[in-house]
């Protein structure tokens, strides 16, 4: 019998931690993809604005991607503060 299974609800806690780990991983992947997309879209917007107008086809996708990046950063911070890992390295 492991030390985690020494009290009632230990399996529920482990299951909850597993679900939170999966959610945190998804949020982290979204952050990574949003960062890459924002850099590319910002460069595209800058190039297109020099060649034409500031209100070009890259503006709104860049703004939406920046919003997604901000929201995912907040969610990641919220998950890390509210539900810290009790074992292992905390990224």
Q: How confident is the model at residue 85 (pLDDT cuts 50, 70, 90)?
A: low
User: 66 by DSSP, 3-state: which?
Assistant: helix
Give the residue carrying structure tokens 């939406």: 64
pLDDT digits (tens, 9 = 90+) for 17-53: 888 889 999 999 999 999 999 999 999 999 999 999 9
Please count the CA atoms within 13 angstroms of the CA of 78 that sit on its side-chain side. Answer: 8
| Tokens 């190039």 -> residue | 47
Q: Is the pTM of this model over 0.75?
A: yes
> In this predicted model, what pLDDT tens digit does every residue of 62-71 receive, in sequence order?
999 999 999 9
């Amino acid at each position: 019998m492991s030390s985690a299974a020494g009290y009632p609800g230990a399996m529920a806690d482990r299951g909850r931690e597993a679900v939170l780990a999966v959610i945190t991983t998804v949020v982290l992947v979204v952050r990574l993809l949003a960062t890459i997309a924002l850099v590319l879209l910002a460069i595209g917007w800058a190039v297109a604005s020099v060649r034409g107008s500031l209100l070009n086809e890259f503006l709104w996708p860049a703004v939406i991607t920046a919003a997604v990046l901000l929201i995912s950063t907040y969610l990641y911070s919220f998950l890390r503060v509210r539900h810290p890992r009790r074992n292992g390295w905390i990224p």
